[in-house]
Amino acid sequence: MEYNFREIEANWREFWAKNKTFAAKDHSDLPKYYVLDMFPYPSGAGLHVGHPLGYIASDIFSRYKRAQGYNVLHPMGYDSFGLPAEQYAIQTGQHPRITTKTNIEGGVDNQGNKIAGYRNQLDIMGFSFDWDREVRTSSPEYYKWTQWIFKQLFNSYYDETQDKAVAVSDLIAEFEANGNANVKATTDYEGSFSASEWKAYSEKEKEACLQEYRLAFLADSWVNWCPALGTVLANDEIVNGKSERGNHPVEQKLMRQWSMRIKAYAERLLTGLETLDWTDSIKDIQRNWIGKSIGASVQFAVDDSDKKIEVFTTRPDTIYGVSFMVLAPEHPYVDEITTSEFKSEVENYKATASLKSERDRQADVKNISGQFTGAYAIHPFSGEKVQIWIGDYVLASYGTGAVMAVPCGDQRDWDFAKHFEIEIINIFEGVDISEGAHTEKEGTIANSDFLSGLKVKKAMKLAIYEIETRGFGKGKTNYRLRDAVFSRQRYWGEPFPVYYKNDIPYLVDDANLPVTLPDVDKYLPTEEGEPPLARATQEAWGDDFAGDRMDFNTMPGWAGSSWYFLRYMDPHNENEFVSKEKVEYWKNVDLYIGGAEHATGHLLYSRFWTKFLHDLGHLPFDEPFQKMINQGMILGRSSFVYKKTLSIKTSDKNTKNRKAITLKDSPLILPKDTNTFYSFNKIPSKEALIEEIEKLNPGHISGSFNDYIDEICLTPFRVAIKYIENDVLDIEAASSDPIFDFLQGAEFIFEDDGTYICGHEVEKMSKSKYNVQTPDELVEKFGADTLRMYEMFLGPLEQSKPWDTQGINGVHNFLRKAWRLVHNRDGDFIVTEGEPTKEALKTLHKTIKKVGDDLDRFSFNTGVSNFMICVNELTEQKCTNKAIIEQFVVLLSSYAPHMCEELWVILGNEAGTVGTQPFPTFNPDHLIEANHKYPVSFNGKMRFMLELPRTLSKEEIEKEVLAHEIAQKWLDGKAPKKVIVVPGRIVNVVI
């Protein structure tokens, strides 16, 4: 029988599905192991070969863990709320629910495109997912519990005394008993009230106060508003001042929004990182994002005013270096403190600053701007008057939105002072600050009263002490992490379990969850600018409707993904989000595989929610993902054909049109555009092209032409990679595709062998670049086992690498060779019983050791190499021994499960059991040899190999080596200075 992968793979997939071979048991005496993949958003474009990379690795690892005797939880689901389905709905009117279902289950979209379906695409890869546990974040059964968790957050506040989340009902009880005097909570509330005052508050006032404590709260906050998307965005959804999705501009807007008080967890999110087995790079990204800085908050009184400006500084030791203050233009005090003399200038500056987009401000780092307000602050220690300025280098959203400027110790303050000719006080002993600030946190403080003569570190401590004892402020830790905006003005997301009565938000009762997403007539904002859900009629909300109105927002994408790993443990539980018993058994994720791009979004929010649910006693752990591996991106390899229509880039920025290029006032004459395509190795050189142009422009082109013209080349056109094999273009097939009909009737300059060779470039895989490779095509051509092994063979999992199918034959051949190990030329099955040879045992055990070690360190690519070496050796040995082959099949089964199941049955074993066989045990005895081949080096350079018995002593080895004729030659009669002998390894002779 030939290796008929199509038939074999189809049969086994059916077998696994029918027998639920990979179902995880919730009750087991076996130790548990939880392997999780980041679940995908099911887009209409389907999977390309980059997506399954991580899934293949996690699948291999799951199978390995099962072989090691673990009860493995390895689920898959869909992060199925999201923008693309909604955009599609806006364009086509099709309900996102339907689009989403089609994208998952396959079918035809309403434009007639065939959709393969994520599930089908995943299935053909032979993954050992426990599909009975599938979750979809957009299903009401799932988001019921997302809403429930939101309610817990709403009903909790962060108690800083206990350092955990506590029920708001406890807080209310405390307010009723003692007011807020003894409450130490993470809050935006600044006032104080007594118990009787609290009791006198109206319901509305009470709720307004509580909102400032709740972990999920409504607040008017400056949000990132994206007009093009019609929604607010979280900080992590913005890249370079534009929306991550669609690259639209984002502006600051004050809006009433749901937020999450993630700041309360800043310190725990930071320290928790130390317990995690994640890459340093991801941990660093999170550390930077949290952005802890230690210093002091100091109050500066404003002269002739009762206002006090609070600043945060990390350098309280430099307080005597303060020569001015700067407020953010948006700072609330600006209008009040500005003197009449400077009113109009300040107004102008504020207007200019507000017009500048976030992006402009970033681009404008070099441009120093600011405006004096006319007001002065009183230095708390020296009592001197310092000018108060506003400047857009101070951000309203960080710290207190105001800084004490110390130009001698901060470069930005220094630049500002220089620019506006403000005094620069030097408070560093023996440091020259004429050319720039002294920003290092070292040196001795001078010219600073009680701080003079102290080293920076000591001065900092003393300064904070004095600031506190004299009542100017206190030591403080500041975090860059902002509270996370949790509302989105979109349709396709979780509705909030919230209704309003007299503008007071109330939660929907647990018994009435989920609040299901109502149908609407259009997926667009209302004419009044309300979110799409405002379109839903009371009937559309059905029984969910309560109060005056429902909340019109939906939750952001990260709501559902923050806890999905918990739901897999207990996906059908109707009474709890996960049962205590099950979460107690499965605990947190042991291995999480996914992209590094979620470092500041999903990975931070999941940690936040996990810690929160832990605080409430629902989870026995407070970190969701113990170990994480970030797979690299698979890049596309785009192919190009080259048409002889010259592309010219000039250093002259004004010349956009190549035909407008002029030389010595007369237009540059270019060779006529042709319809001729040059094969890659036949492309005329730049010199040849210039020569051609010279002929057309006699006397105009000189040596300076090369300086003037940056680049001159044929015009490249992309061609879909499906028409290309080993860079050879199938002209006939490509030109019959309407997208590439420009090839029809074109002339071609071929290679000498008559083929047309394409050029290529490595870039991101995308539809528009015609370089997308789907797994489906490759599975059809080579089989899933080949694709699985090839994706692993490509290189280390964590590294980005270009996709190139050229090597896939090599892996396919390996599997055929493995198949032939037990089949003769006629395809008949052949194995021999009896004792294996010593050689075969050595090969097998060497492979067991290496493959096992490779799996333990997630080195899947070297694992594939080791299988290849094993098969090469066994083939050479003509080994057909059953015992050896069986062990080999078990070893290989995690990588190539279909073929191994088949071979396992052919070998006479029970169907479907290869995956539960114990991982073969390594026996080092089989590797021990009587002799060792010593590499013998002279001065560190290997000269010859010498096989010697392992029993020899150092002295005997040295004697044998020196007596060897090649050694004699290298010694050339001289005595060696030294001989290093590492028994069982190497010999190095120093001469």
List binders of RNA among 278-297 (CB under 7 A).
Answer: 279-281, 284-285, 288-289, 291, 293, 295
Q: Can you tell me the distance from the alpha carbon of 398 to that of 478, in angstroms, rounded to the nearest whole number? A: 9
Minimum distance, C-beta of residue 396 to RNA, in the bound complex (Å): 7
Minimum distance, C-beta of residue 248 to RNA, in the bound complex (Å): 17
Asked whether position 804 contacts RNA by CB under 7 A, the answer is: yes
Q: Which is nearer to RNA, 312 or 568 (CB)?
A: 312
Question: Contacting RNA (CB under 7 A), which of 1, 181, 365, 660?
Answer: 365
Q: Can you tell me the distance from the alpha carbon of 532 to that of 958, in angstroms, rounded to the nearest whole number? A: 85
Asked whether position 299 contacts RNA by CB under 7 A, the answer is: no
Asked whether position 367 contacts RNA by CB under 7 A, the answer is: yes
- Please, which of residues 832-851 interact with RNA by CB under 7 A? 850
Minimum distance, C-beta of residue 219 to RNA, in the bound complex (Å): 19
Asked whether position 477 contacts RNA by CB under 7 A, the answer is: no
Asked whether position 809 contacts RNA by CB under 7 A, the answer is: yes
CB 901 within 8 A of CB 893: yes
- Please, which of residues 695-714 interact with RNA by CB under 7 A? none
CB 786 within 8 A of CB 811: yes
Asked whether position 940 contacts RNA by CB under 7 A, the answer is: yes
Q: Can you tell me the distance from the alpha carbon of 18 to that of 23, in angstroms, rounded to the nearest whole number? A: 11
Question: Contacting RNA (CB under 7 A), which of 18, 572, 767, 985?
Answer: 985
Q: Can you tell me the distance from the alpha carbon of 584 to that of 569, in angstroms, rounded to the nearest whole number? A: 10
Q: Which is nearer to RNA, 109 or 597 (CB)?
A: 597
HEC string of 843-872?
A: HHHHHHHHHHHHHHCCCHHHHHHHHHHHHH
Asked whether position 115 contacts RNA by CB under 7 A, the answer is: no
Question: Contacting RNA (CB under 7 A), which of 37, 79, 854, 886?
Answer: 854
Asked whether position 242 contacts RNA by CB under 7 A, the answer is: no
Window contacting RNA (CB under 7 A); options: 442-450, 553-561, 826-834, 978-986:
978-986
Q: Which is nearer to RNA, 473 or 802 (CB)?
A: 802
Q: Can you tell me the distance from the alpha carbon of 355 to that of 351, in angstroms, rounded to the nearest whole number? A: 6
Minimum distance, C-beta of residue 889 to RNA, in the bound complex (Å): 19
Q: Can you tell me the distance from the alpha carbon of 212 to that of 199, in angstroms, rounded to the nearest whole number? A: 17
How many other C-beta atoms lie within 10 A of the C-beta of residue 644? 19
Minimum distance, C-beta of residue 812 to RNA, in the bound complex (Å): 8
Element (H, E) at 260: strand 251-260
Q: Can you tell me the distance from the alpha carbon of 305 to that of 947, in angstroms, rounded to the nearest whole number? A: 92
How many other C-beta atoms lie within 10 A of the C-beta of residue 277? 12
H runs (alpha helix) in 893-991: 897-906, 954-963, 965-971
Asked whether position 395 contacts RNA by CB under 7 A, the answer is: yes
How, if at all, do strands 498-501 and 549-550 pair? antiparallel
Question: Contacting RNA (CB under 7 A), which of 18, 656, 672, 941?
Answer: 941
Question: Contacting RNA (CB under 7 A), which of 403, 619, 648, 899?
Answer: 403
**Phi/psi at 383 (nearest 5 deg)?**
75, 5
Q: Nearest 10 degrees: CA dihedral of 516, 518, 523, 527?
A: -120
- Please, which of residues 783-802 interact with RNA by CB under 7 A? 793-796, 799-802
Minimum distance, C-beta of residue 755 to RNA, in the bound complex (Å): 10
Asked whether position 247 contacts RNA by CB under 7 A, the answer is: no
CB 670 within 8 A of CB 792: no
- Please, which of residues 711-730 interact with RNA by CB under 7 A? 726
Question: Contacting RNA (CB under 7 A), which of 146, 861, 880, 893?
Answer: 861
Q: Which is nearer to RNA, 797 or 889 (CB)?
A: 797
**DSSP letter, residue 570:** S
Question: Contacting RNA (CB under 7 A), which of 32, 261, 412, 643?
Answer: 412
Buried/exposed 771-810: b ≥16 CB within 10 Å, e otherwise: bbbbbbebbeebbbbbbbbbbbbbeebeeebbbbbeebee
CB 554 within 8 A of CB 496: yes
Helix (H, G, I), strand (E, B) or coil at 238: strand
The CA-CA-CA angle for residues 215, 218, 221, to 5°, reads: 105
Window contacting RNA (CB under 7 A); options: 492-500, 555-563, 812-820, 836-844:
812-820
H runs (alpha helix) in 498-561: 538-541, 557-561
Question: Contacting RNA (CB under 7 A), which of 869, 907, 962, 971?
Answer: 869
Q: Which is nearer to RNA, 658 or 846 (CB)?
A: 846
Window contacting RNA (CB under 7 A); options: 107-115, 254-262, 394-402, 711-719:
394-402
Minimum distance, C-beta of residue 904 to RNA, in the bound complex (Å): 24
Tokens of residue 515, six digits:
């609040």
> Which of 326, 322, 338, 451 is closest to 380 using CA atoms?
322
The distance of Cα 883 from the centroid of its chain, to the nearest Å, equals 45
Minimum distance, C-beta of residue 365 to RNA, in the bound complex (Å): 5
User: Which CA distances in Å does 781 have to 343, 585, 784?
Assistant: 75, 42, 9
Asked whether position 811 contacts RNA by CB under 7 A, the answer is: yes
Q: Can you tell me the distance from the alpha carbon of 424 to that of 788, in angstroms, rounded to the nearest whole number? A: 65
Question: Contacting RNA (CB under 7 A), which of 364, 442, 581, 780?
Answer: 364
Asked whether position 750 contacts RNA by CB under 7 A, the answer is: no
Q: Which is nearer to RNA, 401 or 493 (CB)?
A: 401
Question: Contacting RNA (CB under 7 A), which of 68, 573, 774, 865?
Answer: 865
> Which of 118, 135, 20 is closest to 76 using CA atoms?
135
- Please, which of residues 151-190 interact with RNA by CB under 7 A? none
Asked whether position 781 contacts RNA by CB under 7 A, the answer is: no
Q: Can you tell me the distance from the alpha carbon of 292 to that of 281, in angstroms, rounded to the nearest whole number? A: 17
Q: Which is nearer to RNA, 453 or 807 (CB)?
A: 807
Q: Kindly state the number of chain residues that form the binding site for RNA, as judged by CB under 7 A.
A: 88
Q: Mask of contacts with RNA, 874-913, x by CB under 7 A?
A: ----------------------------------------
- Please, which of residues 199-238 interact with RNA by CB under 7 A? 236
Q: Mask of contacts with RNA, 814-833, x by CB under 7 A?
A: x-xx----------------
Q: Which is nearer to RNA, 722 or 817 (CB)?
A: 817
Cβ contacts of 162 within 8 Å, gap of 6 or more: none
Question: Contacting RNA (CB under 7 A), which of 399, 495, 636, 915?
Answer: 399
HEC string of 291-343?
A: CEEEEEEEEEEECCCCCEEEEEECCHHHHHHCCEEEECCCCCCHHHHCCHHHH
Asked whether position 12 contacts RNA by CB under 7 A, the answer is: no
Asked whether position 853 contacts RNA by CB under 7 A, the answer is: yes
Q: Mask of contacts with RNA, 314-353, x by CB under 7 A?
A: xx------------x-------------------------
Asked whether position 394 contacts RNA by CB under 7 A, the answer is: yes
Asked whether position 681 contacts RNA by CB under 7 A, the answer is: no
Question: Contacting RNA (CB under 7 A), which of 174, 410, 494, 901?
Answer: 410
Q: Which is nearer to RNA, 405 or 583 (CB)?
A: 405
Helix (H, G, I), strand (E, B) or coil at 129: coil
Q: Which is nearer to RNA, 684 or 810 (CB)?
A: 810
The residues pairing with 219 across neighbouring beta strands, listed in sequence order, are 257
Minimum distance, C-beta of residue 876 to RNA, in the bound complex (Å): 7
Question: Contacting RNA (CB under 7 A), which of 502, 766, 872, 923?
Answer: 872
